[in-house]
Structure 1
Amino acid sequence: MRLGDRLAQSRLRSDATHHHPRGDCPVIVRIAAVQYLLRQIHDWSGFENQVRFIMKAAGDYKPQFVLLPEIFTTQLLSFMDTTDVRDAVRNMNDYTKRYKDLMQELAAQWNVHLIGGSHPTLTEDGRLLNTAYYFTPTGEIYEQDKIHRTRWEREKWNTDAGDQLRLFDTPFGKIAILICYDIEFPELARMVCEAGADILFVPSCTDDRQGFLRVRYCCHARAIENQVFVVMTSTVGNLAVEGLGLHYGQASIITPSDFAFARDGIAAEGTANIEQIVVADVDLADLESNRLSGTTIPLYDKRKDVYEHPVEVIKVK
């Protein structure tokens, strides 16, 4: 496999000790986004060993943030009874504690803020949520539920929708998590960015190229509209499980589009559909200056007064 040989070329800087003009946040933030390969495993140990390997590979680059893909834990279905896919997904909840304990341990071990992808989670009242878990190096665990469900989630898995959007004020800037389909709704990104978000993390899982590109193009749009960094990653590979047979994925770290940033608005991106880790440094100070004096400043130029008016419909003969 030689994962190390496949690590994406990254804009790595050795000194991340500057301070953010707004306070004590470092200006330079290193981010690692993992293209996670879904391969057949035979038990929990197979999953745990792969996650530990991935986290060591990412942790060696000493990032502040690591992002894993949406529902990458469905790899566990490869050794579970999936005769009834709705029951199988709900039975994954039996592994929620093990998953959380493992991620909590690895976030502390590698001293990273770990957005541990997302995991199907049953609530006490029987709802099935697609929940992103955020693990800090000091042991805290936070949650962000997916707010908009795809047709697959509604019709095949019969999941439920979350209804609370969160902004996390971390030592390395303010972040929000928008799970896959949620990034296709501009209002969510605007809400968290108007609340102060610096980085949007987008764990994703898509089965084909057009689905991947819907998410990817929306990540670029949200980065431009809100003058914010957007980090996306995806599952790759395949499983012999209904709905998980194919995956198309590529990790990327996306910037606003202006002179201070990468020419194409891409700080780093992987090679599609292979196991890989993408690493890049982003400068939070660039966001602040761009929002004040960029070529355009869409985060602040929004005409809220116009948005309060209903659309005028004119019949043309």
Structure 2
Amino acid sequence: MTMPVPLSPPSSARVACVQFGMRAYAAFEDFERHVAFYVRAAADARADLVVLPEYVSIGLIATWPPTSSHDGIRRLALESPRVIELMRGLALTHGLTLVAGSHPMVRDGVLENVAVVCLPDGDVVLQPKLHVTPNERRAWGFSGGHELCVIDTPRARIGVLVCYDVEFPEAARALSDRGAELIVVPFCTDDRQGYHRVRYCAQARAIENQVYVAMAGTVGVLDGVPNMDVNWAKAAVLTPCDYGFARDGIAAESEPNEETFLVAELDFERLRAARAAGTVTPHLDRRPDLFPFTLLIR
């Protein structure tokens, strides 16, 4: 489900991207306080949309006795209803859209890495990660999802590509073709080269689709959680490279590897003008007749 489509498209939005420090929690309440702090701070900054990173809840595995990576991630999946209810409550309380990171979930007997989008009216949309990395398959047993959601929020039509998904141009193009003007990328990378794979592809998606891209990742060291040792990130809001935008296509970015959040203003009227009459117009000029493909869109 999605929010009703506004009578006229939103002209702007303020987005906050949380660069989230990994912690080995002693109890669920510690995780709740950690997340609530950042959502409250973003709301105080008048953010319309808040982005948390991939695997935001994985520190909860440390609350249980040591176990294998497979067993730990499946036990964490059992907590997904509680995590979703927490995130949904925060979105309702603060009257904003919360892209609440991703969480392991078992759906139809299959373990998936699922992003949770909580809308200010209480609705929740689930977006599975479509492409899982070799490490996710090997260490945790994840499978990729099969649906791609275009989500109408009060301030923007968005799509969510979880980390590795942004490295595949087809998914972003499908979202853009169906009206998404903001692509949100929750990510978790453990080293600089992993981060830059995600970052450079996110910048390319912003340029080739003439969309905004907001990305938020995890930072710090996490002890007590198998297969989640170190994290490297730099949150960013990216734009097309054209007049009216920053020359380097970076609206805002954080310092690397510091727990913090950034806020950026998105001007959708400027984006639409660039799509219609920019220096180049890749959103209009692509040749779908040369590259047909079919993708399930909900």
TM-score category of the 2 structures, normalised to the smaller one: over 0.9
Alignment-derived partner of residue 147 in structure 1: 130
The secondary structure found in structure 2 opposite 1:115 is strand
> Contact 2:119 / 2:153 at 8 angstroms: preserved in 1?
no
The secondary structure found in structure 2 opposite 1:304 is coil
Shift in Å, 1:23: 4.6
> Contact 2:55 / 2:103 at 8 angstroms: preserved in 1?
yes
Looking at structure 2, the residues matched to 184 and 94 of structure 1 have their Cα atoms a distance apart, in angstroms, of 29
Alignment-derived partner of residue 279 in structure 1: 263
Greater mean deviation of Cα atoms: 59-68 or 72-81: 72-81
Alignment-derived partner of residue 209 in structure 1: 192
Alignment-derived partner of residue 174 in structure 1: 157
Q: Which amino acid aligns with 1:200?
A: I
1:304 aligns with 2:283: no
Residues 63-112 of structure 1: per-residue CA shift (max 9 Å, x gap): 11000000111011122234211011000122112111111111011111
Q: Describe how 1:108-187 pairs up with structure 2 within 5 A.
A: 108-123=92-107, 125-187=108-170
> Contact 1:25 / 1:171 at 8 angstroms: preserved in 2?
no
Looking at structure 2, the residues matched to 23 and 83 of structure 1 have their Cα atoms a distance apart, in angstroms, of 52
Greater mean deviation of Cα atoms: 81-90 or 254-263: 81-90
Match of 1:233 among 216, 219, 234: 216
Looking at structure 2, the residues matched to 296 and 129 of structure 1 have their Cα atoms a distance apart, in angstroms, of 38
Looking at structure 1, the residues matched to 163 and 64 of structure 2 have their Cα atoms a distance apart, in angstroms, of 25
The secondary structure found in structure 2 opposite 1:49 is helix
Match of 1:254 among 229, 233, 238: 238
> Contact 1:30 / 1:65 at 8 angstroms: preserved in 2?
yes
The secondary structure found in structure 1 opposite 2:103 is strand
The secondary structure found in structure 2 opposite 1:90 is helix
Residues 277-299 of structure 1: per-residue CA shift (max 9 Å, x gap): 11000100011100010000011
- Give the TM-score normalised by the residue count of structure 2: 0.93
Looking at structure 2, the residues matched to 235 and 82 of structure 1 have their Cα atoms a distance apart, in angstroms, of 22
Alignment-derived partner of residue 26 in structure 1: 10
The secondary structure found in structure 2 opposite 1:144 is strand
> Contact 1:133 / 1:143 at 8 angstroms: preserved in 2?
yes
Shift in Å, 1:243: 1.7
Bigger Rg over Cα: 1
Match of 1:36 among 20, 23, 34: 20
How many aligned positions are there?
287
Looking at structure 2, the residues matched to 41 and 91 of structure 1 have their Cα atoms a distance apart, in angstroms, of 15
Q: Describe how 1:62-77 pairs up with structure 2 within 5 A.
A: 62-77=46-61
- Give the TM-score normalised by the residue count of structure 1: 0.88
Shift in Å, 1:26: 3.2
Q: Which amino acid aligns with 1:245?
A: D
Could you say what the CA RMSD is over the residues aligned between the two structures, in angstroms? 1.4
Alignment-derived partner of residue 61 in structure 1: 45
Looking at structure 2, the residues matched to 227 and 185 of structure 1 have their Cα atoms a distance apart, in angstroms, of 16
Looking at structure 2, the residues matched to 265 and 93 of structure 1 have their Cα atoms a distance apart, in angstroms, of 37
> Contact 2:241 / 2:248 at 8 angstroms: preserved in 1?
yes
Q: Specify every segment of 5 or more residues in structure 2 that has no aligned partner in the other structure, as ranges.
A: 1-5, 293-298
Looking at structure 2, the residues matched to 172 and 110 of structure 1 have their Cα atoms a distance apart, in angstroms, of 15
Alignment-derived partner of residue 103 in structure 1: 87
The secondary structure found in structure 1 opposite 2:15 is strand
The alpha-carbon distance between structure 1 residues 223 and 279, as it changes in their structure 2 partners (threshold 3 A), is: same
Looking at structure 1, the residues matched to 9 and 287 of structure 2 have their Cα atoms a distance apart, in angstroms, of 31
> Contact 1:78 / 1:239 at 8 angstroms: preserved in 2?
no
> Contact 2:100 / 2:116 at 8 angstroms: preserved in 1?
yes
> Contact 2:68 / 2:226 at 8 angstroms: preserved in 1?
no
Residues 167-187 of structure 1: per-residue CA shift (max 9 Å, x gap): 112222210000000000001
The secondary structure found in structure 1 opposite 2:232 is coil
Alignment-derived partner of residue 315 in structure 1: none
Q: Describe how 1:82-93 pairs up with structure 2 within 5 A.
A: 82-93=66-77
Looking at structure 2, the residues matched to 70 and 211 of structure 1 have their Cα atoms a distance apart, in angstroms, of 14
Residues 25-48 of structure 1: per-residue CA shift (max 9 Å, x gap): 331210000001012221111111
